[in-house]
Amino acid sequence: MELDEFFLGFEGSRPIFEALEDYIEQLDPVILRITKSQIAFYHRRAFAWAWIPSRYLPRATAPLVLSLSLHRRDPSTRWKEIVEPAAGHFMHHLELFSVDQLDVQLLGWLQEAFILAG
């Protein structure tokens, strides 16, 4: 699947995704894997996923969600949800409403997830 197809019908999500992709590429070149449901960022393994919640939820929500895999539960109140699908494996979900949310704190979390994947 191509990016144009992924964002078809959700064009408002794309500018946030493109800024996020540029932000993630500061770490090192990454590989994108695009499926119908999400875009995964890979180092050696996947470490971050971008997805459009409006595809699955009937109510209005953020244009884009970033999910990160960390080995700890981060205490920040910015996370929409944190789940532990396996012992010591925490998925952190961050709603992205604008590019203004791409800040130093987020870059730190991305770096941590990138290192863990690699």
Say yes or no to pLDDT of 42 above 90.
yes
Q: Is residue 115 part of a domain?
A: no
List the domain range (segments joined by +) for residue 81: 3-89+98-108
Q: Is residue 43 part of a domain?
A: yes
Q: What is the mean pLDDT of the chain?
A: 94
Can you read off the two tokens belonging to residue 13?
A: 């999500």
Report the DSSP pairing between strands 46-51 and 39-42. antiparallel
Q: Is residue 116 part of a domain?
A: no
CA–CA distances in Å: residue 70 to residues 26, 66, 76, 92, 108 = 19, 13, 13, 7, 12
CA–CA distances in Å: residue 89 to residues 2, 21, 78 = 30, 24, 19
Give this prediction's pTM: 0.94
Structural domain count of the chain:
1
pLDDT band per the 50, 70, 90 thresholds, residue 107: very high
Q: Is residue 70 part of a domain?
A: yes
